[in-house]
Structure 1
Amino acid sequence: MFELKNVTRQFGKKTAVDSVTLDIPQGQMVGIIGRSGAGKSTLLRMINRLQEPTSGSIHFNGTEVSGLRGQGLRNWQRDCAMIFQQFNLVPRLDVMTNVILGRLNHRSTALSLLGIFTREERVQAIAALERLGIEQTALQMAGTLSGGQQQRVAIARALMQAPKMLLADEPIASLDPLNAKIVMDALRDINEREGITVITNLHTLDTARSYCERIVGMAGGRVVFDGKPSELTADAVNEIYGTDKNGAGIDETMTSTSLDNIKGKQDAVSRVMAASAVMR
């Protein structure tokens, strides 16, 4: 069981996360949604201890991880892998080396600095890349890959940590719909096959509905919705995202990553352009 108890984070007078309490059983795939500035990224960074809570506590299997220091903290950051929107790869290193760097907390720092890797580590890295369908990029420089490929390398690196929990901070925000689907399929596969808890921040409602068994909605740093995708009603969406100046709720298709919805939008634009050309 993973628990957040009244976790708050303040930056000066601004409260980014406000008294969040959540219990997440092992093996759940949880999507956190909300507007920019709702506190989603700050919450994940506190879970991984990249930022410290101002108050409250974080627990995993009876251990207060918010109080860990030294080796205990390094072990937690190994067990709680983080995938970032910006990929956080080393562009001038080849893909295999980037993936093996996920083993940093399992191996000698000196060997890592010297680039000395065992045959077993190389086999594990290739297996992780193969699972994500990009084993052919193993010897390429990471900076030469597309955004979708780099995100898959970042997932492979996280897998090398042998984590108990996987955090993904807007993992598809900069990806096209096809690569977004590939990345989300990979996260769901990890969740289902390994039973690893996955907590991911998402900016698209249809993705959260499709991939997550539980959705947490945040607004103003607070949790305003916590339930199944089927319980995410129009009223709940309005509470999370608010309404426009006319009181209308958001149009979910406008933020969709669905290939069908994207095609529909493109077709609609094409029809408008064609009609305009005829009028001219």
Structure 2
Amino acid sequence: MLKITNVTRRFGRNTAVDSVTLDIEPGQMVGVIGRSGAGKSTLLRMINRLIDPSEGSISFGGATVSTLRGAQLRGWQRDCAMIFQQFNLVPRLDVLTNVLLGRLNHRSTILNLLSIFSRDERILAINALERLGIAQTALQAAGTLSGGQQQRVAIARALMQQPKVILADEPIASLDPLNAKIVMDALRDINRREGLTVVTNLHTLDTARSYCDRIIGMSGGKVVFDGGPEDLDREAVARVYGADADDIPEEITSTSIASEKPRKFQSAGPLEPAFAGL
């Protein structure tokens, strides 16, 4: 279980996250919603330890990850993969190499410095790309791909970490509705098939309702809603977005991707046993 206990983060006099307490069960797909500046990204970055809490603790599997340092911290950041809105790929490197970079925390420093990857690692990376429907781009420079393709490369790289938790910080905010659907289908497929815990910040309510088992609403750094999609009524939405329930613009809270049937992703055969043996 991922446990967040009375976590606060301050930046000077500004409190970005204010005394947040959450228990996230293994295998849940959780959507975090709220206006810009609500504290969503700061919360995810604290979980991944890109930034430290000012107060409180974060634990996973009995270990207090909010106090880890050195090799133990690197181990947690391997187990807790992060997917960013801006992809964080190396544009000049080919797609395959970008995906292989997800193995860095599993390897020796010498192998990393020499950029030597084994045949099994390369097969694993190709399988991940095949699963996400972009194996044909393996030898292209990552910077030549569309935004939707780059985000799928970032997901493949995250899978190469063999994580226990995936955090996605606004993974579809810069994508068109079709590519947003493809990316969200991929994250839900990973959640369902591998049983991985997925926590994703989302900017549209219909996406959260369609894909997530649990929705957490934040406002002013605090959790103001925590429940299932069926509990997210107009009153709850008003608490999250700080507006009268009848005055929330539809374009702020929805897109066109929710009504379509989620795309089914197919593994490339060897992918699942290959991951199981890592």
- Structure number having the greater helix percentage: 1
Q: Secondary structure at the match of 1:124?
A: helix
* TM-score between the two structures when normalised by the length of structure 2: 0.91
Query: Which residue does the alignment assign to 1:81?
Result: 81
**Aligned partners of 1:242 and 1:249 also within 8 Å:** no
1:259 and 1:117 map into 2 onto residues whose CA distance is: 38
> Aligned in 2, Cα 1:100/1:240: closer, same or farther, shift over 3 Å?
same
| Higher Rg | 1
2:183 counterpart of 1:183:
yes
How many residue pairs match? The answer is 260
1-structure distance, mates of 2:179, 2:77: 27
- C-alpha RMSD over aligned residues: 1.5
Q: Distance in 1 between matches of 2:208 and 2:218?
A: 13
Identity of aligned residues (%): 76
Decide which moves more: 77-86 or 102-111.
Answer: 102-111
- 5+ long unaligned stretches in structure 1: 262-280
Contact 1:78 1:161 in 2 (8 A): yes
Partners of 1:237 and 1:223 in 2: how far apart?
12
Residue of structure 2 equivalent to 1:149? 149
Query: Which secondary structure state, in structure 2, belongs to the residue aligned with residue 207 of structure 1?
Result: helix
Structure-1 separation of matches of 2:69 and 2:94: 32
SS at match of 1:51: coil
1:251 shift after superposition: 3.0
Q: What TM-score comes out, normalization by structure 1 length? A: 0.90
- 1:1-280 equivalences under 5 Å are 1-243=1-243, 248-259=246-257
| 3-state SS, counterpart of residue 86 of structure 2 | coil
What runs of 5+ residues in structure 2 fail to find an aligned partner?
260-278
- Look up the SS of the partner of 1:129 in the other structure: helix
Residue type of the alignment partner of 2:39: G
Measure, in 2, the Cα distance between the counterparts of 1:106 and 1:135.
23
User: Are the structure 2 counterparts of residues 235 and 153 from structure 1 closer, same or farther at C-alpha, using a change threshold of 3 Å?
Assistant: same
Distance 1:113 1:257 in 2: 44
Tell me if structure 2 keeps the 8 A contact 1:205–1:252: no
Quick one: which amino acid aligns to residue 3 of structure 1?
A: K
User: 1:248, CA displacement in angstroms?
Assistant: 3.8
**What is the CA–CA distance in structure 1 between the aligned matches of 2:107 and 2:65, rounded to whole Å?**
22
Residues 88, 154 of structure 1: 8 Å contact kept: yes
Question: Which residue of 2 is the match for residue 274 of structure 1?
Answer: none
The residue aligned with 2:263 is: none
Q: How far apart, in 2, do the equivalents of 1:91 and 1:121 lie?
A: 21
- Partner secondary structure for residue 56 of structure 1: strand
Matched-pair contact (CA < 8 Å) for 1:3–1:58:
yes
